[in-house]
Structure 1
């Protein structure tokens, strides 16, 4: 879910909403915000798109790295993920 001020609704995607992949609802905790909620159709789209997205990220970011740079990147990433 995404919290956005009502005055910033222009930033919330409209195309997914029109296609039934996203719905908006007022935030019950704070009326100044709107919640963007992924529908079942939206989640289906995420799942269908994920394999191609992963392949493209691998092609652009991982494959060009040498084995040493890849290992270094993994180590730095792991070190950052354990920070409190």
Structure 2
């Protein structure tokens, strides 16, 4: 099973791309798949296969990261 990662947006480009950071690793993703308003620096997103799929609140992101870390990164 392939799980998305939880990452924080660190750069937003005008061409529909953004740079996100997950545990110190940066990745360029397409943000046009987030269904609501444009993402901004500091937002948390779920990323899978190079696409930002969904925006999360900071509390949702932190809770998801806490659960992942407590289960060794494996699905529960």
TM-score between the two structures when normalised by the length of structure 2: 0.32
Larger relative contact order, structure 1 or 2 (CA cutoff 8 Å, min sep 6): 2
Greater fraction of residues in helix: 1
